[in-house]
């Protein structure tokens, strides 16, 4: 049974990774009015928040009195512990907004490959902030990863923008690349910062409670971002202006992605998770050819192949773990929490 759940969760993760990028790209290039991406980020945070609240409520067998007391004691009565989550929540919210900018300016395949840069940024922040050691193979894989992404991005004929691909907005590969790089830096720092909080905190909190704290801040910060960026337009046209089924699909895929990764972390291992990432890159590339007339050239093929190899090597040969059980537990908790907050 566990084996079936493991491979089922991996299968769903592959589909979620590929479908999210493709749906985001498609929704940003539909003819007609364009929805406000800032409102989509707010709805995503709200959905994740409500999901975690529901999970805790179910765990308490719908005892609303105990549920309310639990939230009061662990959120309101521990303000400093809650405020610590404000930093990663801010960064995750900004990251999610940048992802829309990146996908609007890069093809789905190019974005999917380039976004694996978050592996490099997370590893570097782990070494700097947590003094974590990486194996030689992992360092080599990070170099290969960077080389592959650079190969995809630095192309004389960028396949991101083709005359045959119908787009709804003006695109800039440079803007898309900058959005990806900043987003990956945010992702790496927030993830490691979050793990540092978990390790240093004396308060033992569940994954779902931490994500409720993230969701509260994320929703508030998302609303503030929406007001500053699209406030007048949202007031004039409405919060759900130009929402289609594809937009709702993007929101649901983003909100559900963290739960799926949590299942993979619980039932699978890093090797299979890395394999799932590699397969999702291949699916996104093939689908982009048929959906967006994306043209695969030799440079993109070489670069994406290097990225896939790097992801596999990084996952297959993890760093040495002197305290294997403790380290595994902490890393799995960090993976679940990061997944709920993002992104990934």
The per-residue pLDDT for 67 is: 93
Average pLDDT, integer, range 262-273: 57
pLDDT-derived band at 82 (thresholds 50, 70, 90) equals confident
Q: Are 6 and 268 in contact (CB under 8 A)?
A: yes
Token pair listed for 223: 């609303």
Domain containing 301 equals 2-341
First to last CA, the chain: 27
- Provide the 3-class DSSP secondary structure of residue 61: coil
Q: Residue 55's Cα: distance from chain center in Å?
A: 21
Distance between CA 169 and CA 174 in Å, rounded? 15
Q: Does residue 324 register a pLDDT over 50?
A: no
Average pLDDT, integer, range 238-249: 93
H or E stretch including 9? helix 2-27
| Residue with more model confidence, 327 or 4 | 4
In the chain, DSSP finds a helix count (H) and a strand count (E) of: 14, 0
Among 64-68, 159-163, 183-187, 200-204, whose mean pLDDT is lowest? Answer: 159-163
Among 46-60, 67-81, 281-295, whose mean pLDDT is lowest? Answer: 281-295
Average pLDDT, integer, range 84-108: 88
Mean pLDDT of the chain: 79
Distance between CA 193 and CA 213 in Å, rounded? 15
Task: Provide long-range contacts, Cβ within 8 A and 24+ apart, for 70-79.
Answer: 71/212, 74/205, 74/209, 75/209, 75/212, 75/213, 75/216, 78/203
Q: Can you tell me which residue has the tokens 């801010």? A: 90
Number of domains in the chain: 1
Ramachandran area for residue 307 (φ above 0: left; ψ -120 to 50: alpha; else beta): alpha
| Residue with more model confidence, 70 or 285 | 70
Global pTM value: 0.78
Tens digit of each residue's pLDDT (9 = 90 or more) over 201-219:
655 566 778 888 888 999 9
Q: Does residue 316 register a pLDDT over 60?
A: yes
Task: List the one residue out of 265, 257, 249, 92 whose CA is nearest residue 183.
Answer: 92
Tens digit of each residue's pLDDT (9 = 90 or more) over 25-70:
889 888 888 999 999 999 999 998 998 899 899 989 999 999 999 9
């Amino acid at each position: 049974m566990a084996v079936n759940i493991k491979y089922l969760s991996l299968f769903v993760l592959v589909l979620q990774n590929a479908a999210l990028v493709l749906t985001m790209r498609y929704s940003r290039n539909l003819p007609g009015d364009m929805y406000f991406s800032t409102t989509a980020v707010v709805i995503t945070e709200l959905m994740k928040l409500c999901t975690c609240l529901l999970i805790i409520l179910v765990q308490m067998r719908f005892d609303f009195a105990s549920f309310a007391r639990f939230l009061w004691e662990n959120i309101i009565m521990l303000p400093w512990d809650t405020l610590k989550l404000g930093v990663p929540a801010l960064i995750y919210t900004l990251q999610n907004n940048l992802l829309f900018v990146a996908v609007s300016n890069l093809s789905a395949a190019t974005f999917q490959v380039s976004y694996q840069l978050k592996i490099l940024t997370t590893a570097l922040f782990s070494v700097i902030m947590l003094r974590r050691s990486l194996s030689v193979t992992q360092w080599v894989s990070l170099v290969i990863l960077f080389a592959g992404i650079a190969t995809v991005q630095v192309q004389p004929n960028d396949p991101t923008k083709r005359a045959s691909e119908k787009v709804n907005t003006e695109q800039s590969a440079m803007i898309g690349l900058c959005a990806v790089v900043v987003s990956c830096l945010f992702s790496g720092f927030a993830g490691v910062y979050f793990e540092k909080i978990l390790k240093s905190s004396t308060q033992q909190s569940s994954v779902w409670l931490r994500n409720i704290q993230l969701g509260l801040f994320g929703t508030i910060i998302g609303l503030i971002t929406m007001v500053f960026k699209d406030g007048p337009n949202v007031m004039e046209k409405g919060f759900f202006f130009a929402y289609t089924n594809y937009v709702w699909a993007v929101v649901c895929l983003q909100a559900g992605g963290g739960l799926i990764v949590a299942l993979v972390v619980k039932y699978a291992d890093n090797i299979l998770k890395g394999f799932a990432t590699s397969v999702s890159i291949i699916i996104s590339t093939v689908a982009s050819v048929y959906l967006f007339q994306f043209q695969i050239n030799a440079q993109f093929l070489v670069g994406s192949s290097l990225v896939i190899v790097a992801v596999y090597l990084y996952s297959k040969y993890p760093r040495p773990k002197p305290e294997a059980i403790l380290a595994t537990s902490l890393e799995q908790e960090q993976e679940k929490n990061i997944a709920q907050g993002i992104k990934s």
